[in-house]
Amino acid sequence: MLEICQKTQLLLSRQYQNQTLAHAIVIQGRSTLANRALADWLIELLICQKPVTKLSKIDEQALVLQACGHCKTCLLNKADNFPDHLNLQSENKTIGVDDIRRGNSFLEKTAHIGQVKTVLIPASDTMTVAASNALLKTLEEPNPNNYIILLTQELDSLLPTIVSRCAVLTIKSEVGQALLNSLQLSMDSKNLYFDNGLNDNAFINSSQLAELTSEDTFHAYQTFTQCYLGYLNNTVEEKQLLDQLNDSEHAIRWLENLTCNLIRKFYLSDIVQQTNFSKQFGIEVSVLKQLYQAIINSNKLIKSYAQVNRQLICQQLLVTINNIIRSST
């Protein structure tokens, strides 16, 4: 089991032993690998006929449960032939109402082996509104022998009514010192991102885990930063920024973070630095505040609906940004 899952694994083991395990669970975390690893461990435990215990690595006085790996159900599960588990995935980009109805129908039927039936929804944040409402009916009247596990990177991507009927487990990654140091480069670095001083006052938190743990994502972040600063300085065309917004799932979050850091840098600077701020970054802080609010509104809009045209929202956001900048000149 991944190290970042061990605290949650211990909690779930205790709940299993005390028979207090929720029948609907949302596993939320930035790492899809960790989310899936924890879900697979729990499902294997639930369907195992003879679970075993081992000492916890984080608490030597505690025991962690796990599947035996040798009973009939474990062997069938390893061979992907266990009939009482459903991995609910869709052939489309979103999980539709028909997909959820298939899951509901699966849970309504009697288990073939033992009593427990499990459903895993690995891409729960892609459920349409209709699909979410169909799932609600099952969540409101759970069968004591059925378990539904939903995985998501963003809890806000799920309808509040779904979240309220589930136990929510958040996996918080431990960020290594080496990764933190990679974002604490000196101000004389040759990298444009750090040359512009956006990192000296930045806050590092779990929302930046994608950049901290993936070199490709971090490089994409740097490229986006250069593009955004160039756009503010009128050295990058609008189309380039729009392409960046459309190409990365993190782009609007990056836009929000960078704009916030610029505002923060202004207010943490001395009088002389504040005077030169607009020359350095090509924009007044009052305009940045308006941009920040527009970005926040767009981000909320994306998170408020399970089915949304993200590309259209990005286009509308860029139009709003242009109007704000033009009205200030």
Q: What is the pLDDT of residue 177?
A: 44
Instruction: Supply the pLDDT for residue 304.
Output: 65
Q: Is residue 182 located within the same domain as residue 257?
A: yes
The Cβ of residue 274 has, within 10 Å, a number of other Cβ atoms equal to: 14
Q: Answer yes or no: do 87 and 32 share one domain.
A: yes
Note the Cα 247 to chain centre separation in Å.
Answer: 17
pLDDT at 3: 67
Could you give the angle at the alpha carbon of 186 between the alpha carbons of 181 and 187, nearest 5°? 140
Q: Say whether both 181 and 164 belong to one domain.
A: no
Residue with tokens 């979103």, as numbered in its chain: 94
Q: Which amino acid is at 68?
A: C
Residues 9 and 135 in one domain: yes
Tokens of 82: 């266990």
CA distance 185 to 194: 7
Whether 117 and 202 map to the same domain: the answer is no
Residue 63, domain CATH: 3.40.50.300
What would you measure as the largest C-alpha separation in the chain, in angstroms? 75
Concatenated DSSP letters of 244-286: HHHH-TTHHHHHHHHHHHHHHHHHTS-HHHHHTHHHHHSS-HH
Determine the pLDDT at residue 179.
45
- Inter-residue contact 131 to 10 (CB < 8 Å): no
| 189 & 313 share domain | yes
Residue 294 vs residues 67, 215, 316: alpha-carbon distances, Å: 49, 29, 10
d(CA 301, CA 215): 29
Strand 146-152 versus strand 117-121 pairing type: parallel
Q: Are residues 198 and 154 in the same domain?
A: no
The verdict on 199 and 319 lying in the same domain is yes
**Rounded CA separation 133/159 (Å):** 9
Residue 172 structure tokens = 């918080």
pLDDT for residue 80: 87
Q: From the CB of residue 268, how many other CB atoms can be counted at a distance below 10 Å?
A: 11
User: Which of 154, 171, 188 represents a domain boundary (last residue)?
Assistant: 171
Distance CA 20, CA 316 (A): 47
For residue 202, the 8-state DSSP code is: P
What per-residue confidence (pLDDT) applies to 307? 62
Total structural domains in the chain? 2
pLDDT in tens, the chain (329 residues): 566 788 889 999 999 999 999 999 999 987 788 899 999 999 999 999 999 988 877 666 778 899 999 999 999 999 888 999 999 988 888 899 999 999 999 999 989 987 899 999 998 988 988 999 999 989 988 888 899 999 998 888 888 899 999 999 988 755 444 444 444 443 333 343 444 445 444 444 555 666 666 677 888 888 999 999 889 888 889 899 999 888 888 888 899 889 988 888 888 777 878 888 887 777 888 999 999 999 988 887 776 665 668 888 889 999 999 999 888 76
From the centroid of its chain, how far is CA 113? 34
Residue 207: count of CB within 10 angstroms of its CB: 14
Q: In which domain, by residue range, is 60 found? A: 3-171
Domain-terminating residue out of 171, 189, 214: 171
Are residues 228 and 307 located together in one domain of the fold?
yes
Residues 279 and 254 in one domain: yes
| Contact by Cβ (8 Å): 29, 170 | yes
- The answer to whether residues 250 and 160 belong to one domain is no
- Which residue, 328, 254, 252, is CA-closest to 290? 328
Question: Do 51 and 158 have their domain in common?
Answer: yes
Please report, for residues 132, 258, 323, the alpha-carbon distance to residue 329 in angstroms, rounded to integers and kept in the order given: 46, 22, 10
- Cα separation, 113 vs 73, in Å, equals 8
What is the reported pLDDT for 133?
92
What does DSSP assign to residue 64? Answer: E
Instruction: Specify the DSSP class assigned to residue 144.
Output: T
Which DSSP string corresponds to 94-121? Answer: SB-HHHHHHHHHHHHSPPSSSS-EEEEE
Q: Which two tokens stand for residue 290?
A: 């308006």
User: Given 145, 171, 197, which residue is the final one in a domain?
Assistant: 171
Q: In the sheet where 117-121 sits, what is the strand order?
A: 85-87, 117-121, 146-152, 24-29, 167-171
Instruction: Determine the pLDDT at residue 201.
Output: 40
CATH of the domain at 195: 1.20.272.10
